[in-house]
Amino acid sequence: MSKVRSYAWLAWRAVVPHPLRALRRRGTGEERFLANYAAERLAPTSLDARAVAEAASACISCGLCESGCALRSAIPAVRSLGLHAAFRLHAKSDEMRAHGADALAACASCTGCEPLCPTGVPITRLVRLLAAR
């Protein structure tokens, strides 16, 4: 019985309050996003960034790319983090991003990683985009 009531409640919400709220909405999508999430230091995702993130989602964390990645100019602490840890930190908030920035900065753009990826993640494109952020 409670199931029926829950569904009825969801249906009512979808039909009545939700469209009403849409009428009251002010500002662009980006402004509304920032109003809601800027406090949590989350940045809106651009279409470009979304395309790259989708390509990156093929990553299976196998670490083979690391064998072709020297991160030569990095200090050992950053080297042990590895480039692919930098991607993971980037997926989080701006604050986490700072931790991955050193690893990204140490990338020598040698492209040694990309042909090693079994699932075809465009690693160099990804690094370029993340570094530009």
Pick between residue 8 and residue 58 the one whose CB is nearest to other proteins.
58
Which structure tokens are listed for 129?
């985009």
Decide: helix, strand or coil at residue 42: coil
Q: Please report how close the Cβ of residue 128 comes to other proteins at its closest, in angstroms.
A: 20
DSSP label at residue 114: G
Angstrom distances, CA of residue 66 to CA of 11, 56, 85, 112, 119 = 50, 16, 10, 9, 14
CB of 112 to other proteins, least distance (A): 12
Place of tokens 């690893």: 103
The 63-102 site mask, x for binding other proteins (CB under 8 A), equals xx-xx-------xxx-xx-x--------------------
53 binds other proteins (CB under 8 A): no
79 DSSP assignment: H
61 binds other proteins (CB under 8 A): yes
Question: Which of these segments, 4-12, 47-55, 62-70, 88-96, binds other proteins (CB under 8 A)?
Answer: 62-70
Return d(Cα 53, Cα 56) in angstroms, integer: 5
Which CB, 34 or 101, lies closer to other proteins?
A: 101
Token code pair at residue 81: 């983090």
Interface positions with other proteins (CB under 8 A): 60-64, 66-67, 75-77, 79-80, 82, 115-120
